[in-house]
A and B are shown apart, each in its own frame.
Chain A
Amino acid sequence: MTRERRELAQQLQFFDCSIWLGKPQGFPLADELLPETLASTLSDRFITGGLVSHWHGNTISAQDVNTAVIQGIDGRDNLSAIWTGLPLFPEEDGELPGCVEPPSCVKGVRIFPKSHGLPLEHWSVGTLCDWLAKRNMPLLVWHTEVDWQSLYRLAERFCNLKIVLETQPRKILYHTRPLFALMRDCANVLVEISNFVGAGFIEYAVSNFGAQRLLFGSFLPVNDPLVSIGMLLDAEISHADKAAIAGGNLRQLLSEVQS
């Protein structure tokens, strides 16, 4: 049972869209993931690489965090960075997407509408969304940072923008009714699965919306990657769909980003 699981986990080549440097906020018992232990922590849990963010993206300045995350991944080929974004107006100085051209290792932008006091509306974040859509660069957002109505409007209005809805840092379980309705209506919304753990969610999403809508995420170092890995190993979906969710979809998404 264990050997087969381990072999399948290695075959699936997990590629992770939710790796976090910095001291986790709100999880007092979680250890910080340090740049020097990043590689071993990932390989211990079958993860081949992915997208790295910084915990302080919503608590200290976006500019400082964007510099820190680039330093954290330190040119590793298997890792790319997510920057924290702000609206392009009013214009702000420093390392911000849209204000400067990010390094080529930056493959996504996350916004924190509630923490940064941003209405998730076109008149506030629309220019940033246009900037991202032109580069095929995904926009990432925690579900706790949005209200569903605004997210729906934004996804409809910017239908060429890939929006990755993240299921952290608290349960998304209690929002599955709007979540699945949003997935039904907005094909440009993808869902990160580190907390997509209700009974039968993977099979339901794959059969109703397609495997291409799900992205493997671990939420390291807060979560154990074996949670979402376990959901996929035993999922009753085809091997091709498992491989797509485990890493194929994210690799494809990142390959389309124009620096």
Chain B
Amino acid sequence: MSCAAIIDAHMHVGQPGVFFAPETTLDHILYRMDQLNISSAICTDNQSLTNVSMESMAELRSNFERSGSRIHYLAVYDPRRANECIEMIRECQDWAGLAGIKIHPSFHGVSAEDESYDGIWQFASKNSLPILSHTWSSSDYNPIQRLSTPERFERYLKTYGDVKFVLGHAGGRGAGRHDAVRIVNEYPNAYLDFAGDVFCHSLIESLVDSVPVEKILFGTDFPWIDPRANLSRVLLADIPTSAKQYILHENALSVYDLRCD
């Protein structure tokens, strides 16, 4: 396959803190992107997930500029600081490189269907901004993930049918993936990415068989996961070349309204 421009639709920048990884910086990711022919990325920074601020947003804008307009970014919405975050996003919404909104119910400890998310869905609808959320499966060893299981997002998917919504991590490695697939088939505005360690055997082939190919986005979850872990899964998957092109490139362009330079 000759793919001129791969887009990584789900990555992070910055020290994760909770583990050691040899590569975490903007320079590291740009190096890997060049190596792997990844032209652009959609990024959230670890600082914003913890404590989003105008400073962290300014850092993301600066990364976008330093990267030669390659590392686009999402504004984190923390439902515990609803009004403050919406005001902040309003201030940034015309900044170069801003590609949408990120929510993370498990990290912020607020379930995805909670009414404190209504404001940001409304804002996204009015301003034509896509939303990417962390989604995962519930498990005994990681119970906080119950706040981000895919079916919890349906309340807002129904209400805000004009908001493009990406189920990050495709509902995770467990039973959540069943719901993610169902939701993507049921809601025209729902998409999924398989960033992270959703390493299930033949996942790419299975997704292509079970949801419209224009709804599947390639993502890495750098630096949690090395971009190389997910890339060959697509390039060597037993799916048509045209499907690879959609997954690696076209779909991210469309969902995040990126210009292809």
Check A199 against B201 for contact (C-beta < 8 Å): no
The answer to whether A197 touches B229 (Cβ under 8 A) is yes
B211 contacts chain A at the CB level, 8 A cutoff:
no
Tell me, yes or no, whether B235 is within 8 Å of chain A by CB: yes
- Cα separation A220 to B24 with both chains bound (whole Å): 29
The interface residues of chain A lying within 8 Å CB-to-CB of B229 are 197, 227-228, 230-231
Contact call B231/A230, Cβ cutoff below 8 A: yes
A26 to B2 CA separation, bound complex (whole angstroms): 38
Q: What are the 7 tightest A-B residue pairs by CB atom distance, in nearest-first order? A: A230-B232, A200-B23, A200-B22, A199-B223, A199-B23, A204-B22, A197-B229
Contact (Cβ within 8 A) B236 A227? no
Query: Shortest Cβ distance from B4 into chain A, in angstroms?
Result: 10
- Asked whether A148 is an interface residue with its Cβ less than 8 Å from the other chain, the reply is no
Which of A176, A221, A233 is the one whose CB lies under 8 Å from B232? A233
User: Which residues of chain B are near A34, meaning CB under 8 Å?
Assistant: none
Bound-state CA distance A225–B203 (Å) is: 11
Partner of A1, one of B2, B228, B230: B2
Q: For A240, what are the chain B residues with a Cβ–Cβ distance below 8 Å?
A: none
CB of B200 closer than 8 Å to a CB of A = yes
- If A29-B177, A223-B199, A234-B231 touch, whether A176 touches B236 (CB-CB below 8 Å) is no
Query: In chain A, residues 1-51, which have Cβ atoms closer than 8 Å to a Cβ of chain B?
Result: 1-2, 5-6, 9, 26-31
In angstroms, Cα B23 to Cα A174, docked, is 15
Inter-chain contact B225/A199, CB cutoff 8 Å: yes
User: Which of chain A's residues has its CB closest to B205's CB?
Assistant: A224
Please tell me if A184 contacts chain B, counting CB pairs below 8 Å: no
Query: Within B153-209, which residues are at the interface with A (CB < 8 Å)?
Result: 173-175, 177-178, 197, 199-204
Given A28-B175, A198-B226, also A222-B232 (CB < 8 A): no
Residue numbers in B under 8 Å from A231 (CB-CB): 226, 228-229
For A171, what are the chain B residues with a Cβ–Cβ distance below 8 Å?
197
Closest chain A residue to B223 by CB distance?
A199
Closest residue of chain A to B203 (Cβ to Cβ) is A224
A251 to chain B, nearest CB (A): 23
- Known contacts A31-B201, A226-B233; A198/B173 CB under 8 A: no
Which of B29-37, B50-58, B90-98, B102-110 is the interface stretch? B29-37
Could you tell me the distance in whole angstroms from the C-beta of B188 to the nearest C-beta in chain A? 25
Q: Could you write out 12 A-B pairs with CB less than 8 Å apart? A: A2-B235, A9-B236, A174-B19, A175-B19, A195-B197, A197-B229, A199-B32, A200-B22, A200-B23, A223-B201, A227-B229, A227-B230
Please determine whether A198 and B232 come into contact, CB atoms closer than 8 angstroms: no
Given contacts A5-B236, A200-B223, 8 further A-B contacts (CB under 8 A): A5-B235, A6-B236, A27-B174, A29-B174, A29-B177, A199-B23, A199-B224, A227-B229
Nearest CB in chain A to that of B225: its residue = A197
| Docked-complex contact B200 and A29, CB < 8 angstroms | yes
Q: Is the CB of B225 within 8 A of A198?
A: yes
- Kindly list chain B residues whose C-beta atoms are within 8 Å of the C-beta of A224: 199-204, 233
Interface residues in chain B, defined as those with a beta carbon under 8 Å from any beta carbon in chain A: 1-3, 18-24, 28, 32, 35-37, 139, 141, 173-175, 177-178, 197, 199-204, 222-233, 235-237
Instruction: Quote the shortest CB–CB distance from B7 to chain A (angstroms).
Output: 15
Query: A253 at the A/B interface (Cβ < 8 Å)?
Result: no
Q: Is A158 an interface residue (CB 8 A)?
A: no
A-to-B contact residues, CB < 8 Å? 1-2, 5-6, 9, 26-31, 170-171, 173-177, 180, 195, 197-204, 219-231, 233-236
Q: For the complex, what is the distance from the CA of A233 to the CA of B226, rounded to whole Å?
A: 13
Instruction: Name A228's closest neighbour in chain B (CB-CB).
Output: B229
Contacts of B204 in A (CB 8 A): 224
Contact B228 A234 (CB under 8 A): yes
Contact of A198 among B21, B37, B231 (CB under 8 A): B21
A231 to B230, CA, bound (A): 9
Task: Collect the chain A residues with CB atoms within 8 Å of residue B173's CB.
Answer: 27, 29
B203/A230 in contact, CB under 8 A: no
Q: How far is the CA of A227 from the CA of B202 in the complex (A)?
A: 11
Q: Is the CB of A199 within 8 A of B200?
A: no
A173-B226 Cα distance, complex, nearest whole Å: 11
Q: Flag if A28 contacts B21 (CB, 8 Å).
A: no
Q: Note all chain B residues with C-beta closer than 8 A to A235.
A: 228
Complex CA–CA separation, A176 to B22 (angstroms) = 10
Q: How far is the CA of A19 from the CA of B207 in the complex (A)?
A: 23
Cα–Cα distance between A235 and B178 once the two chains are bound (Å)? 33
Contact residues in B for A222 (Cβ distance below 8 Å): 199-201
Q: How far is the CB of A194 from chain B (nearest CB, A)?
A: 8
Docked-complex contact B225 and A230, CB < 8 angstroms: no
Contact in complex: A197, B177 (CB < 8 Å): no
Q: How far, in whole Å, are A176 and B141 apart by their CA atoms in the complex?
A: 19
Q: Which of A1, A173, A199 contacts B235 (CB 8 A)?
A: A1
Q: Which residues of B contact A202 (CB under 8 A)?
A: 226
Expressed in whole angstroms, the Cα–Cα distance for A171 and B19 within the complex equals: 11
